[in-house]
Chains A and B, each alone.
Chain A
Amino acid sequence: MNHKEALDREEVIDFVMSCWDEDAGAFGAHPDHDAHIHSTLSAIQILIMQDALDRLDVPRVVDFILSLQQESGVFSGDSFGEIDTRFLYCAVNALSLLGQLDKLDVEKTVGYIRKCRNFDGGFGACIGAESHAAMVWVCTAALAILDRLDEIDHETLGWWLAERQLPSGGLNGRPEKLEDVCYSHWVLSSLSILNKLTWIDAEKVTAFILSAQDLEHGGIADRPGDQPDVFHTQFGVAGLSLLGYPGLNDLDPVYCMPASLIERMGLKKGWQALPRRTN
């Protein structure tokens, strides 16, 4: 939203560094919390956005991430072994941002994603799981980073994603479920990576996201009338950015970070957002 200065740079960096888990060599979600691959990716993303990657012990973090890859190719979130394609994406994204993808067994990783592909073109959280928009996004984005979008049946997945739009304009995450603003990010980012954002009605999604705003206190909720929170605000703004909403910065749907930054790092992939509107 062009307001990076709204958060104090030093405070942000200090907080991130205070979440470092010295035993594990990675970041937790909060000071004194255990390291987890999800918060580790967030920490890396924030440090890069604050141009403070020099604070990071890159070799230790890379070791932590690589230690979580399982024989099957998927990653666990931490040492206790919960596995999920979300964690696989966290690993691929983080290694790519750190310029360390060469250390990853790409075939093994892609092999796991392939086994999660369902007949509807989508992907689930693990082998056998039902397709879900969030897991579709992590798998699609991971494949985009690894330059392996050929693993996807573009037409079938594009169809499944386009059918996430409901008459209200909002998007759901699975067939015959309710709409929710969070899917704006997951569905729209996936469509953008497949260059098929025109397959849904952009105006109607935009109107739905805006209708979930809290006009008094700010922020965006899961759906109109509910209490806003920071997650749905992020997902809503991300969706609006991809839809070309005026005044927003371009979002990179693969990394979920500012597009200009990812382009400067030489990591931009062939996704397409809708053109930025001026009014």
Chain B
Amino acid sequence: MVEALEAKKLKEHAKLKEYLALTDEVIVKKNGRDWSRDAFDLTTRVLHVNPEFYTVWNYRRHILVHGIFPTRSVLCTPPEINEILTTDLSLTTAHLKQHPKVYWIWNHRRWCLENVPVGPTEDDPDGWRRANWNKELFVVERMLDADARNFHAWNYRRYVLASTPVQRAEQAELTYTTRKIEANFSNFSAWHQRSKVLTSLWDSGKLDIKKSKEDEYELVKNAMYTDPGDQSVWIYHRWLVEPGNDYEILRREITSIQELLDEQPDSKWCMESLVFYHRLQLRNHSSRLTDTDKQGIVQRCLQLLNDLQAVDSPRRQRYIDLSTEVQKLA
């Protein structure tokens, strides 16, 4: 046992020594502005061990830009540049599988993509770019299959979609979020993406806002009934309702949440959301309400906030503060 531990320690020590020697070597080359193929290969080895070493990523890009791409001495033709960048994209795909949250790897991919040359031919100037971008979308989807909440992957996905040489229909992204949400209602990253895509589709008139919103209410209602304790859904619902100018929808949603609360009397999110929507009612639609209505709603909110203090005690003070706010609306 002790011997095994000792052997493991020795092995780790040797590995560390090897890594430190590698680091020293790469720094010496970097300081000497060595932009050779050897230096490039050395950065590959260092980054393989430690992809967090941002200076070496920088050095690698300097080697490419100053040493390998320039067409002065050894000719590096556009097909070769494309080849090198495609190889680097494959290499970093392997890195990402092991280190899906290292900023520098994602960052390097972006740089590679942006430097893909025009070509392969004059007739098809976007061919290489199209091929690489399509592959990126595939890679990022595999990354989101592995971890559907990886925000690096989502940010990168938005970047790829926005910068792709051939724009994809936004509807496709809406379908993608549906798939992700249906796989797991808790995936707030997908709900978030959905809110961005829908906003854009509504603003551009590609989707009828009224009809599309009704579809969303249906989807959300399903999710709410599946797990009323899942906050992703309630946060999204709030986005759908806000700013709450449509009085009929506001009333309908209040009734629907009240029904769910009747079934699940301890549901914190039902109570919390009811208070929020009742306050919207009082703030935005006070002209439609009689004084008796208003008094009733205020009392209802105070009752809910009182219950919330018991059901959700860690956030007790928030409910007390909200009670003060609600009283001002009376």
The residues of A with any CB-CB pair to B shorter than 8 Å are: 28-29, 32-34, 36, 78, 80-82, 118-120, 124-126, 128-132, 158-160, 162-163, 165, 169, 174-177, 196, 198-201, 204
- Contact A129:B154 (CB < 8 A) given known A82-B103, A176-B232: yes
Residues in B neighbouring A129, C-beta threshold 8 A: 151, 154-155, 158
- Contact A199:B61 (CB < 8 A) given known A34-B54, A125-B151, A130-B192: no
Chain A residue with the shortest CB-CB distance to B152: A125
Which one, A78, A128, A169, A175, contacts B188 given CB within 8 A?
Answer: A175
The reply to whether B58 and A163 contact each other, CB–CB distance below 8 Å, is no
The reply to whether B315 and A128 contact each other, CB–CB distance below 8 Å, is no
Residues in A neighbouring B196, C-beta threshold 8 A: 128
- B31 interfacial contact with A, CB 8 Å: yes
Residues in A neighbouring B238, C-beta threshold 8 A: 119-120
User: B183-214 CB contact bits vs A (8 Å, 1 = yes)?
Assistant: 00011110011011000000000000000000
In whole Å, how far is A29's beta carbon from the nearest beta carbon of chain B? 8
CA distance A142 to B93 in the complex (A): 34
Name the 10 nearest CB pairs between A and B, nearest first.
A201-B314, A176-B186, A198-B317, A33-B55, A175-B188, A199-B318, A130-B192, A119-B239, A82-B107, A34-B55
CA distance A158 to B318 in the complex (A): 9
Count how many pairs of residues, one from A and one from B, have CB atoms less than 8 Å apart in the complex: 90
User: B219-236 CB contact bits vs A (8 Å, 1 = yes)?
Assistant: 000000000001110010
Please, could you name 29 A-B residue pairs with CB atoms under 8 Å apart, sorted by A? A29-B54, A29-B55, A32-B30, A32-B55, A33-B55, A34-B58, A82-B107, A120-B235, A120-B238, A124-B155, A128-B155, A129-B154, A130-B189, A132-B151, A160-B235, A162-B315, A162-B318, A163-B231, A174-B149, A174-B189, A176-B186, A176-B231, A177-B149, A196-B318, A198-B317, A198-B318, A199-B315, A199-B317, A201-B314
The reply to whether B107 and A80 contact each other, CB–CB distance below 8 Å, is yes
Chain A residue with the shortest CB-CB distance to B190: A130
In whole Å, how far is B318's beta carbon from the nearest beta carbon of chain A? 4
CA distance A29 to B57 in the complex (A): 14
Which one, A78, A130, A198, A200, contacts B151 given CB within 8 A?
Answer: A130
Residues in A neighbouring B247, C-beta threshold 8 A: none
Residues in B neighbouring A130, C-beta threshold 8 A: 151, 154, 188-189, 192-193
- B215 interfacial contact with A, CB 8 Å: no
Residues in B neighbouring A118, C-beta threshold 8 A: 192
Chain B interface extent, by class: 35 or more
In whole Å, how far is A216's beta carbon from the nearest beta carbon of chain B? 17
- B102 interfacial contact with A, CB 8 Å: no
Residues in A neighbouring B103, C-beta threshold 8 A: 82
Where chain A touches its partner, the secondary structure class is: loop
In whole Å, how far is A74's beta carbon from the nearest beta carbon of chain B? 13
- Contact A80:B61 (CB < 8 A) given known A32-B31, A125-B151: yes
Chain A residue with the shortest CB-CB distance to B111: A80
The reply to whether B154 and A201 contact each other, CB–CB distance below 8 Å, is no
CA distance A270 to B242 in the complex (A): 30
In whole Å, how far is A138's beta carbon from the nearest beta carbon of chain B? 14
Chain A residue with the shortest CB-CB distance to B58: A34
In whole Å, how far is B102's beta carbon from the nearest beta carbon of chain A? 12
The reply to whether A128 and B58 contact each other, CB–CB distance below 8 Å, is no
CA distance A6 to B304 in the complex (A): 52
- Contact A200:B314 (CB < 8 A) given known A80-B61, A129-B151, A177-B149: yes
Residues in B neighbouring A34, C-beta threshold 8 A: 54-55, 58
The reply to whether A36 and B315 contact each other, CB–CB distance below 8 Å, is no
The reply to whether B235 and A175 contact each other, CB–CB distance below 8 Å, is yes
Chain B residue with the shortest CB-CB distance to A130: B192
- Contact A80:B318 (CB < 8 A) given known A32-B31, A130-B189: no
The reply to whether B231 and A175 contact each other, CB–CB distance below 8 Å, is yes
CA distance A26 to B30 in the complex (A): 18
In whole Å, how far is A35's beta carbon from the nearest beta carbon of chain B? 10
- Contact A200:B315 (CB < 8 A) given known A32-B27, A125-B155, A177-B149: yes
Residues in A neighbouring B61, C-beta threshold 8 A: 80
- B313 interfacial contact with A, CB 8 Å: yes
Residues in B neighbouring A125, C-beta threshold 8 A: 151, 155
Interface residues of B in 299-330 (CB under 8 A from A): 313-318, 321
CA distance A131 to B313 in the complex (A): 25
Chain A residue with the shortest CB-CB distance to B24: A32
